[in-house]
Structure 1
Amino acid sequence: MLCGGDGACNFLVHPVFTAVEIPVFWSPEEDSSVVILTDVPSLLPSDNIFIDALDPNAPRRDETGEHFLHDLGNGQSLRLVRLIGVDGARPLAALVPLDADGLDRVEAVSRLVKALHGRAVPQDTRLTDQQLRRARHMLQAVDGRTSGASYREIAEALFGARRVADQPWKTSALRDTVRDLVRDGLAMIQGGYRQLLRHRRRS
């Protein structure tokens, strides 16, 4: 958002839209599932059979190239970026740096290639159902806490009053769970949410 001295502001996205209505284009540095498209090396055989399928619809352009979404046909979309100077009418290759995010990017490329070949596309595995559920509970817990709710009230909202009442609150495992949810939720809000864009790796 850019605001002038007269109070008028230019929004990058019109404020009438909700967060779920507008696609978010994360940079490839942050989102390891972004597929980076470049020219096919001349030493490799290639054709342009999939060029039309990868034709961007209303791409976002910046100094790195064209960012757009590709429908995988399974209710999900994959974010692609065609690097600056790459001819969209010529055969394309996916660029996978040999770094810590390499396996994440290989998985994303695999999902794209399967979609292009009409094969079944697996779901994105960066977040399991359990991790998604915990992320939702973290945000609910933080929302409750910032609205003035006690830890016990949050626990009752998340897990049910009967379950909370089953054991003394001061020594309840749910008390510790809610405290952890609030702590981790605050950390996620303060920038930790970017970790959701990558697979968890063993240290």
Structure 2
Amino acid sequence: MSALTQSVLWSPVVVPSVLTLAPAPEHLSHGATPPLRPLDAGRDSPEGKYALYDGDSSLQVLMMPGSDPTKPAVAIIPLDGDMLGRIETLTRLWRSLRGQKPPPDTRMTQQQRRRLRRMIQAADGRMNGASYREIAMAIYGEPRISAESWKTSPLRASIIGLVKGGLDAINGGYLNMLRHRRRN
């Protein structure tokens, strides 16, 4: 199966937006609870069963052993630095279960997504032997690059930064993008 067509399932340790769900204790399981359907087929692991909710790769769940998606469940939210991100994901799941439109995932802005795409494209070009100028022409177009002196062009510095950022992301820096940014 192509890497472009298969789902990637993450551990909650690596990606805090993966919700950990467990069977609801008896004293909390009263009242109407919407079933956690539709879950994809999922994958079994020692921690439980990983699955995507409704085919949405940004709503991943880990069903703890003994969990049943047709029965009441509780979310386990650790009281750590990623707690607010987990609560945001839980809110998205809760709204989806109630038939409401979930709010968008805010871990990355549209601008950050576009920059990431360019960083990977630039790093890929560089790893395949392209010069910074060739990468710039592929990203920004030849007329824009030819319009000014390359050695002093701000686009040159931009491409160098994109290549560096892309290589950092490829070497594990992408994991930081899977978490919410927090102010100190």
Alignment partner of 2:85 out of 92, 95, 104: 104
TM score, norm. by length of structure 1: 0.82
Aligned-residue offset at 1:144: 1.1
What's the offset of the Cα at 1:43? Answer: 3.7
Alpha-carbon contact 2:34-2:98 (below 8 Å) kept: no
What 5-or-longer segments of structure 1 have no aligned partner? 1-16
Q: For 1:190, what is the secondary structure of its paired residue?
A: helix
Alignment match, 2:132: 151
Distance 1:47 1:127, change over 3 A: same
Cα distance in 2 for partners of 1:124, 1:20 equals 21
CA displacement 1:136-195 (0-9 Å, x = unmatched): 111111111122111111111111222222322111111111111111111111111112
In 1, the alpha carbon distance for the partners of 2:38 and 2:139 equals 44
CA drift at 1:112: 0.4
Match for residue 65 of structure 2 among 75, 84, 95: 84
* Structure 1 residue identity aligned to 2:107: R
TM-score, normalization by structure 2: 0.90
Over 6 Å off, 4+ runs:
none
In the other structure, the counterpart of 2:24 is 40
- Correspondence for 1:135: 116
Cα distance per residue 1:2-26 (max 9 Å; x no partner): xxxxxxxxxxxxxxx2112111111
Residue 11 (structure 1) aligns with: none
The whole-number CA distance in structure 2 between the counterparts of 1:21 and 1:46 is: 40
> Is 1:66 the counterpart of 2:49 in the alignment?
yes
Cα contact 1:47–1:91 (8 A) shared by 2: no
Alignment RMSD? 2.0
Q: What is the rounded CA distance, in whole Å, between the counterparts of 2:175 and 2:24 in structure 1?
A: 31
State yes or no: 1:117 paired with 2:117: no
- The 1:157/1:87 distance shift into structure 2, 3 A limit, reads closer
SS at match of 1:169: coil
Aligned with 1:25 (options 2, 6, 9): 9
For 2:18 and 2:57, locate their aligned partners in 1 and report how far apart those are by CA, in whole Å.
13
The amino acid across from 1:192 in the alignment is: G
* Aligned partners of 1:37 and 1:83 also within 8 Å: yes
Give the Cα–Cα distance (whole angstroms) in 2 for the partners of residues 157 and 55 of structure 1: 42
Q: Distance in 1 between matches of 2:73 and 2:172?
A: 34
Q: Which runs of 5+ in 2 are unaligned?
A: none
- 1:84-128 superposed Cα distances (whole Å, 9 cap, x missing partner): 233555310111111111011001100000011111112211111
Alpha-carbon distance, 1:55 to partner: 5.8
Conservation of the 8 A alpha-carbon contact between 2:122 and 2:162:
yes
Q: Counterpart of 1:49? A: 33
Which residue is equivalent to 1:93?
Answer: 74
Percent identity between the aligned chains? 43
Q: Which amino acid aligns with 1:132?
A: R
